[in-house]
Structure 1
Amino acid sequence: MADGGGIKGVVKGAAKLSKQLLEFSNILLTTDDATIGATPKEVVWTFRKTTLYRYRSTNRRHPVPILLTFALINRPDIFDLRPGNSFVEFLLEQGFDVFLVDWGVPNDEESDLGLDIYALDHLPAAIREVRRRSGAEEVTLIGWCMGAALTGIYLALTPDAPVRNWVPLTMPLDTENGTYQTWMGSTNFDVDHLASNVDSLPGWAVNTGNKLLKPIPNFVGTNLRLWNQVGDGSINKVSHQAMSKWVSDNPPFPAKAFSDWVHWMFKENALVKGQMEMRGRKVDLGNIKQSTLVVTASMDHIAPREGTLPLMDIIGSDDVHHMDRVGGHIGLMAGSKAKREIWPDIVAWLEPRSQ
């Protein structure tokens, strides 16, 4: 009887392992089929690879529209990750008129695009079209990661910007002694040589570099966690695949813009020091007078909270608030808890300032 029970246990265990392996493999192999960025939207304006979208809505109650901006190294679908867990969906439900600027997927022809082109040409043009299409005099700018830095640079250099509110989400600012500065700020990292020999930095290289900041969690931990969740039945396949698909979709980074970013942010740490110059003018964040909500994440290793907080003392606005929550650089705004614990607080801050 004992031998028979042992054999049955082995067979049962093998069957369970086989089922687990099949489901694990299926999730990995079908990730590209995941639905992300699905909220209906219309093209408002395009220039080169940059596109401005307006999301469809029959519930626009707030006079001040919102323009969302993201980084150059990932696609902006993170704002609209998946049905049921979409910041865009949430804003629309709350009655906001929502626009999104998508920097696109640059090719070799965009190698000459520096950060000034994005911050001082493409972004102002997008704002102009938001105002024209919505009929509003002012807009709210919500920037995430590098998107926050680009919107901050624009505001610092545009004192009369038609912007009422600014929400920088996990914005890199003071990079002193940060992981990126240790890596790219080193004299051994010759970004000028790199930029002069390539038209753009391949998306896979950017993705790999970011993952190397936490190699064990990124290259081992993610799949190990997936394996365990499949085994214990706790896996949310839709959520996992949506995030995995977004993370792996990295457009090329134009060489000029990459060189600008590395020099100003990591080699010189110029933005926080007020020493960044763009088109012959100093980028002084003290010129920012808009109502500002600074959002930080307690476990952010891309833009650590302590590197963002100096913004509170630098900008010249009389209406500055800080929101800090538990989470990482991306998970803070796109994780499973964001809809309950982050988005409502952002909307509560925006509503009285959007009338």
Structure 2
Amino acid sequence: MELIPRPDLPGSAFVVAAAGNVAHKVLYGGLADLRPMPRTLIDDGMLREVYHYRPSAKVVEQGDPVLLVTPLAAPALCFDLRRGCSLVEHFVSNGRPTYLVEYGQVSFRDRNLGMEHWIDEVVPAAIREVSAHAGGRPVHVIGWSLGGVFALLTAADSPDLPIASVTAVGSPFDIKQVPLVAPLRPLLNLTEGGGIINRSYQAMGGAPKPLVKWAFQLSSFQKLVTKPLAIATRLDDQDFLAQLEAVDRFMDNMIAYPGRTFGQLYHRFVRGNALVTGTIDFGDRSISVADITAPVLVFAGDTDGIAPIPAVRTVVPLLTGSKEVRFEVVPGGHLGMLTGRRARGTTWQIMDEWISRWSSDAEEIPTPTARKKNAAARKAPARKTAGKTPAKKAPAKKAANKTAKKTVTKKAAAKKPQRTAASREALGTNPARRYGSAGSRSLSS
């Protein structure tokens, strides 16, 4: 009996692989390795928990730290989705000091907290604590979705913070460009004053978890509808099925929005499109992203329905005070661009290059590709020595050849840093890169 064989796989092979995956799921409860990366709480406060991920036993932790900033309503699983598709695991395994700030469970008592709490208290306190814990080094701040907005506004409002760079992943600054919101805008304008939406979130103290989950699913409605067919046609693909399990767990762990914060997001962002100019007012002060001096890296996903490319790209020309701004288009939707299977070879590699480029002391944290090359280079001399040990009494001609080879090797080694520097300069503008070159932009002050 043949199920729905894929074109590139014989029917019998498909059936065998699919049966194995189904049996594994039934017997063991799933295919995904959902073990969280081990971490230690180093600081906490009101809706603030700062964690340090324990370094890998195989790699020495070194270099400037990264701080992962979660968005509201989404769990920290976005950065540690599953083994093999975890940004945290990627950084830790490469020896990068890795930290994360999350907010815990939001309850009714937190209903009066606004966005100012995260911009004034949570993110700045996390940055300072991470810098202190890492020996006073500056911090590379990476925020996803609303976490990226928080990171940018914090950097703009507090120029004294020890920030090495800021990375915003899928952070929309022009809500009019979001396809789901544009058709609803005339309806939203009718709810001026005490509309049903206002009364609802005020009564509930915010946006409850089921509503947040529904909104996230609505943004990828087509994928939700076609999901059963996708599973049926890819029952043989263990990695694909494991990713679906991990995403389902992520969706089941959504967190509620505090009431006042939800109101600000609704009125200022959705209805007022306040971020489109790069400036937002809080009480008697204004925060402008033009005041950011740190280097900024901006990512957009090519199939992102929550933060499409035009909505994200809007912030790029607004960052006029930054040392350097880079814009990258990478494969994936809102979550996939951050921690999807293709992110391992696109988003994460670009992050590695960017962080190394803007490290405080030009430290070199090798990428996985560089690690393999370095390992091969270390093994090569050992093999040559072993092969030449018996031939100590070689003629003078061989000795001359050996000297020439060493000279060539030294010249090649001298050229290597130049190639590395060139690859960094090409970040975001390399026409050979499959993703990011067409929509990338580099601005230097």
Normalised by the shorter chain, which TM-score bucket? Answer: 0.7 to 0.9
Distance in 1 separating the partners of 2:159 and 2:358: 19
Task: After TM superposition, give the deviation of residue 318 of structure 1 in Å.
Answer: 2.7
Q: 1:274·1:282 contact (CA, 8 Å) conserved in 2?
A: no
Q: Assess if the C-alpha contact under 8 Å between 1:36 and 1:77 holds in 2.
A: no
Q: Which has the higher contact order (CA 8 A, sep 6+)?
A: 1
* Contact 1:180-1:266 within 8 A present in 2 as well: no
Please give the alpha-carbon distance, in whole angstroms, between the structure 2 residues aligned to 1:255 and 1:192. Answer: 10
Aligned-partner Cα distance in 2 for 1:257–1:160: 26
Asked whether the 8 Å contact 2:146–2:171 carries over to 1, the reply is yes
TM-score (ref. length: structure 1): 0.86
Q: How does 1:88-103 map to 2 (within 5 A)?
A: 88-103=88-103
Mapping of 1:112-123 within 5 angstroms? 112-123=112-123
Unaligned residue ranges in structure 2 (runs of 5+): 1-14, 362-445
Q: Which residue of 1 aligns with 2:189?
A: 187
For residue 310 of structure 1, report the CA deviation from its aligned partner: 2.1
Question: What is the aligned residue count?
Answer: 335
In the TM superposition, what whole-angstrom CA distance separates every residue of 1:90-135 from its partner, at most 9, and x where no partner exists? Answer: 1122221110001111111111221110121111111121122112
Q: Deviations over 1:273-292 (max 9, x none)?
A: 24521242112110011111
- From 193, 204, 207, the equivalent of 1:201 is 207
Counterpart of 1:148 in structure 2 is: 148
How far does the alpha carbon of each residue in 1:135-169 deviate from its partner, in whole angstroms, 9 at most, with x for none? 22421110000100111111121222221200111
CA contact (8 A) 1:37 1:77 kept: no
Does the 8 A contact of 2:279 with 2:289 survive in 1?
no
Q: Distance in 2 between matches of 1:279 and 1:24?
A: 58
- TM-score (normalised: structure 2): 0.69
- Of residues 357, 361, 375 in structure 2, which corresponds to 1:352? 357
Q: Counterparts in 2 of 1:35-46, with a 5 A limit?
A: 35-36=33-34, 38-46=36-44
Give the match for residue 45 of structure 2. Answer: 47
Q: CA deviation at 1:177?
A: 4.4
Counterpart for residue 295 of structure 2: 291
CA change 1:46–1:249 in 2 (3 A) is: same
The equivalent of 1:78 in structure 2 is 78
* 2:174 counterpart residue number: 174
User: Any conservation in 2 of the 1:49–1:104 contact (CA below 8 Å)?
Assistant: yes
In 1: Cα distance, 2:35 partner to 2:296 partner: 27
Residue 241 of structure 2 is aligned to residue 234 of structure 1: no
Aligned match for 1:217, one of 215, 219, 223: 223
The whole-number CA distance in structure 2 between the counterparts of 1:341 and 1:127 is 26
Q: CA RMSD in A?
A: 2.7
CA distance in 1, matches of 2:336, 2:80: 13
Provide the identity percentage.
Answer: 23
Asked if the contact 1:24/1:226 (under 8 Å) is kept, the reply is no
Shift of 1:182: 3.0
Q: CA deviation at 1:178?
A: 2.3
Residue from 317, 341, 346 that aligns with 1:341: 346
1:180 deviates by: 4.3
Choose 221-230 or 93-102, whichever is displaced more: 221-230
Q: 1:325 aligns with which of 316, 322, 330?
A: 330
Counterpart position of 2:281: 277
Instruction: Quote the offset at 1:34 in angstroms.
Output: 5.6
- Alpha carbons of structure 1 residues 54 and 184: separation in structure 2 relative to 1, 3 Å: farther
Separation in structure 1 between the aligned mates of residue 61 and residue 37 of structure 2, nearest angstrom: 15
Q: Which structure has the larger Rg?
A: 2
Question: Does the CA-based 8 Å contact 1:59-1:93 persist in structure 2?
Answer: no
